Structure 1
Amino acid sequence: MKIKNAFTLGLVATLGVGLGIVILMAIGNLATVLTYIGIAIFLALGLDPVVSWLEARHVRRSLAILIVIIGVAAVITGLVFAVLPIIIDQLTQLFGQVPLLLRGFQSSTWASDLSERLGGFIDVQAVVDAVTKYLQDPGNVTAIAGGALAVGVGIANGIFGTVIVIILTLFFTANLAMMKRTVYLLVPASKRERFADLGEQVTDAVGRYVIGQVALGVCNGVLSFIFLTIIQAPYAAVLAFIAGLLSLIPLVGTISGSVIIVAVCLIPGIGSPLTALVAAIYYLIYMQVEAYFLSPNIMRRAVSVPGSVVVIAALAGASLLGVLGALIAIPIAASIILIVKQVVIPIQNER
C-alpha cells in the first residue's frame, strides 16, 4: 500500500514510533519477569540432559522428570537444613566481631603508624575520627538505617525471586519437550527437520554447559570447605559457600571468590597473615588445576568455544545483563558458532 499524502505518512510513522516506544517500555517494565523466565529456562535446559540420561535407560519420561524434580527438591532441602544453619551461625559470629574490630582500631595506634608510613601526606586518624563523627550523627544513622532497610527489602525480593525461579524451572523441565515441539512447528515443513536437529544440538550444548558449570562450583565449594577446615580458617562454611557460588560465574568467578577469602583471612582479629598466605597459595594452585585439568575434562562434551570468544562473550554478557549475562553468554556463543558452522558456511559453499 502506497501512502501519497504527507500528513497520513507522518501520522503512520508517528504511530509506528510510538508503538515501538510503548513496546520497549513494556519490555523494560517486565525486565525482572523476563529475567526470571530466562534463568528458569537456562536451568531447565541444564536438567534436561539428566532426564534424557534416564530415558536412555528405559525410564519413562514422566517418571524421569518426577525423579529429577524429587532429586532437585531433596538437594535444595538438604542444603537448607544442613548448610544454611551453619552459614547463618557463622555470619552472626562474623557480624558480632565488627564492633570489637572497630573498638580495637580506635584503641590501637595503627592509624598513626599508617600515617607515618605514608609520609604524613594522609592523616589516617583524622579520617577515622571523621567517620566516627559521621556515624554518631542521628541523621546519618537514620540514613544508614534506611539503607539497611532497603538491603533487607532487596534480600526479601531475592528470596521471592528464587522461589519463582524454582517453580518456573520445575514447570519448564516438565514441559520442555512440548515447548520445543511447539517452536519447531512454527518453522516451514520443508526446513523443520533441519531446524529441529539444530535446535536439539543447541539445547543439548546449553544443558551440558550448565551441568559442567554447576559441577565446577560444587567441586570448588567442597574442596574449599575441606581445605579451610584443615587450616582452621575463620568461617569456613561461609567462605566455602561464597567460593562455590562465585565459581558459577565464568572466567572471573573463581578468582573473585579466592580474593574475598584471602581478604577475610587477613582481617585482624579474625584471621592471620599466615592463614591468608596459605589460602592464597592454595587458590593459586587450585586455579591452575581447574584451568588445565578440571574445566577441560568436565566441559569436554559441553561447549567448544575458542578462548578469545569466551572472554569477549563473557564481558559482553556481563555488560548487558550482569551476572545472568555472564552465565548465558558462553553457551549462546557456542550456539552461534554451531549455527555458523552447520548453516551459514554450507550455504556459502553451495554458491
Structure 2
Amino acid sequence: MRRKSVVATTETIETGPANDRSTRRVASVTAAARTNPFMFGLLGALGVLVALAIGGMVDQLATVFVYIGVAIFLALGLDPIVRLIERKLPRAAAVAIVVAIVLLAFAGILLSIVPILVEQITNLIDDGPEMIADIMASAWFQDLSNQFGSTFEDAASSVLTFLQDPGNLADIGGGVFAVGAGIAGGVTGGIIVLILTLYFMASLRSMKAVAARFVPAYQRETFSELLQDISGAVGRYVMGQASLALINGVLSLIFLTIIGAPVPALLALIAFIGSMIPLVGTLAASIINALICLIVSPITALIAIGYYLVYMQIEAYVLSPRIMSKAVAVPGALVVIAAVAGGALGGVLGALVAIPVAASVIIIVQKVVFPAQDRKKTPPVLTAP
C-alpha cells in the first residue's frame, strides 16, 4: 500500500504543468523519504551537516558581527547629536559635521596616545634596572625593609637580576612585540568600527524604513514608533554614558596634572574608557591609574586613590542619577542585573550594551505586551466541539 501511494503521488505530480519540474522532484523525494528509512536518515544527516556548516561560518564571522553590533550601537548613540544639528541644517550637513568631529577626535586620540605608549614601553625596557635600584634606595622602601625584614629587598633583587639578564630582556622584547601586535589589531578594529559607524549613521533612516518593510502594512506604523523609541533609548543611553566618561576624563586630567602623576593624558584616557563600562569600569580604571602613580611615589598613589574614592561617590549618587534618569528609565535593580548578566555573557561589550537592551525590553513590554493584555477585558468563550 505504501509503495502504491508513493507511485500515485509521483504520477499525480508528473501530470502537472511542465514548468513545475523542480517542485515535482522535491515532492517525489519527500514522499520517498517518508517510506524509506535510509532516505529519511540521509536527509537528517544532511540537515545536521548544513547546521554545523552554518555554525562554523557564524563562529568564523563572530568578530565581524561584533564590529557591526558596536558600529550600530555607536551610530544610534550619535544619532541624537545629528538630529540636534538637523534642527538648524539639512541632515546631510549634520551628518558631515558629526563625521568630521568624530574623525578629528579619533585622530587626536591616536596621535596623542600611540607615541606615548611607544615611548613608555621603550623607557621601561631601557630604564627598568635603574628604576628598581632607585626604588630600593628610597626612604620609604628602607622603612618597609626595616619593618618587614628582607622580603622586599629579596624580591627587588630578584627582579633586578632578571632585568639585567640579556636573554630575559629578549623575552621581554618578544612580549612587547606581541603586545604591540595586539595594539595594532585593536587600532585596525577601531578603524573598521569607525567606518561602519559613519556609514550606519548616514543611512540610519533608510535602515529603519527597510526594517519596517518586513512587517505587515497594518502593523508598520506601530512597529516604526516602537523602533524609534528603542533607538532613541539606546542613543540617550550612549550619550549619557559618554557624558559621565567625559566628566571623569577631564577631571582626571586636571587632578593628575596637579599632583604630578606620570603621563596624565594617558591616565585620563584610561579613566574615560573605564567610565564607559557600567558598574565596574570606573573602579577598574581608578585602580589602574593609582598603581601607575606608584612610579612617582606612594604618596602620589594614595592621593590618587583618595580622589577616585570621592569621585566615585559623587558619580554614583549625584552625576549618574541626574544624567541617566533623563537617558533611560530603567529601575536600579534591573541595571545591576542587566550589567552583571551582560558581562557574564559577552564580557565588556556585553556589559556595555546590557542596559540599553534592558531599556528596549521595557519599552516593548510597555508598548506591546501591556496594551495587548489590557484589550482582553473578557475571558475567551469556549465552544462545544
Q: Which residue of 2 aligns with 1:63?
A: 93
Q: Do the aligned partners of 1:216 and 1:294 also contact (CA within 8 Å) in 2? A: yes
Q: Do the aligned partners of 2:226 and 2:364 also contact (CA within 8 Å) in 1? A: yes
Cα distance in 1, alignment partners of residues 179 and 120 from structure 2: 16
SS of 2:326's equivalent in the other structure is coil
Cα distance in 2, alignment partners of residues 279 and 293 from structure 1: 20
Q: Which residue of 2 aligns with 1:349?
A: 374
Q: Which residue of 2 aligns with 1:169?
A: 197
Alignment of 1:84-233 (within 5 A): 84=113, 87-88=116-117, 91=120, 95=124, 97-104=127-134, 117=148, 143-233=171-261
Could you list the per-position Cα deviations for residues 104-134 of structure 1 after superposition, in whole angstroms to 9, with x for gaps in the alignment? 456789599659738x9xx666655665666
Q: Do the aligned partners of 1:214 and 1:248 also contact (CA within 8 Å) in 2? A: yes
1:40 aligned partner, one-letter code: A
Alignment of 1:308-319 (within 5 A): 308-319=333-344
Q: Which residue of 1 aligns with 2:53?
A: 22
The verdict on how the C-alpha distance between 1:126 and 1:263 changes in structure 2, with shifts beyond 3 A counting, is closer
The alpha-carbon deviation at position 93 of structure 1 amounts to 8.4
Could you list the per-position Cα deviations for residues 12-39 of structure 1 after superposition, in whole angstroms to 9, with x for gaps in the alignment? 2222222111111111111111111111
SS of 1:301's equivalent in the other structure is helix
Cα distance in 2, alignment partners of residues 336 and 169 from structure 1: 24
Could you list the per-position Cα deviations for residues 249-290 of structure 1 after superposition, in whole angstroms to 9, with x for gaps in the alignment? 1111111111122222234xx2232x2232222212211211
Alignment of 1:284-303 (within 5 A): 284-303=309-328
Question: Structure 1 residue 321 and structure 2 residue 321: aligned?
Answer: no
Give me the CA root mean square deviation: 3.0
Cα distance in 2, alignment partners of residues 53 and 216 from structure 1: 20
Q: Which residue of 2 aligns with 1:281?
A: 306
SS of 2:327's equivalent in the other structure is coil
The verdict on how the C-alpha distance between 1:108 and 1:60 changes in structure 2, with shifts beyond 3 A counting, is closer
Q: Which residue of 2 aligns with 1:53?
A: 84
Q: Which residue of 1 aligns with 2:3?
A: none
Q: Do the aligned partners of 2:77 and 2:234 also contact (CA within 8 Å) in 1? A: yes
Q: Which residue of 2 aligns with 1:337?
A: 362
1:266 aligned partner, one-letter code: L
Alignment of 1:247-262 (within 5 A): 247-262=275-290
Normalising by the residue count of structure 2, what TM-score does the alignment of the two structures yield?
Answer: 0.79
The verdict on how the C-alpha distance between 1:309 and 1:114 changes in structure 2, with shifts beyond 3 A counting, is farther
SS of 1:304's equivalent in the other structure is coil
The alpha-carbon deviation at position 206 of structure 1 amounts to 0.4
Cα distance in 2, alignment partners of residues 86 and 161 from structure 1: 19
Q: Which residue of 2 aligns with 1:38?
A: 69
Cα distance in 2, alignment partners of residues 306 and 288 from structure 1: 19
* Greater Rg over alpha carbons, structure: 2
Cα distance in 2, alignment partners of residues 79 and 133 from structure 1: 37
Normalising by the residue count of structure 1, what TM-score does the alignment of the two structures yield?
Answer: 0.86
Q: Do the aligned partners of 1:234 and 1:271 also contact (CA within 8 Å) in 2? A: no
1:271 aligned partner, one-letter code: S
Q: Do the aligned partners of 1:41 and 1:169 also contact (CA within 8 Å) in 2? A: yes
Q: Do the aligned partners of 1:246 and 1:253 also contact (CA within 8 Å) in 2? A: yes
Consecutive unaligned residues of structure 1, counting only runs of 5 or more, are: none
SS of 1:299's equivalent in the other structure is helix
Cα distance in 2, alignment partners of residues 114 and 144 from structure 1: 28
Cα distance in 1, alignment partners of residues 153 and 269 from structure 2: 36
The alpha-carbon deviation at position 331 of structure 1 amounts to 0.5
- Number of positions where the alignment pairs a residue of Structure 1 with one of Structure 2: 343
Worse-superposed segment, 6-15 or 152-161: 6-15
1:169 aligned partner, one-letter code: T
SS of 1:325's equivalent in the other structure is helix
Cα distance in 2, alignment partners of residues 84 and 140 from structure 1: 27
Q: Do the aligned partners of 2:342 and 2:353 also contact (CA within 8 Å) in 1? A: yes
Q: Which residue of 2 aligns with 1:272?
A: 298
Worse-superposed segment, 27-36 or 292-301: 292-301
Cα distance in 2, alignment partners of residues 326 and 200 from structure 1: 23
The alpha-carbon deviation at position 227 of structure 1 amounts to 1.2
Q: Do the aligned partners of 1:111 and 1:124 also contact (CA within 8 Å) in 2? A: no
Q: Do the aligned partners of 1:217 and 1:244 also contact (CA within 8 Å) in 2? A: yes
Consecutive unaligned residues of structure 2, counting only runs of 5 or more, are: 1-29, 377-385
SS of 1:311's equivalent in the other structure is helix
SS of 1:300's equivalent in the other structure is helix
Cα distance in 2, alignment partners of residues 299 and 234 from structure 1: 32
Worse-superposed segment, 6-15 or 161-170: 6-15
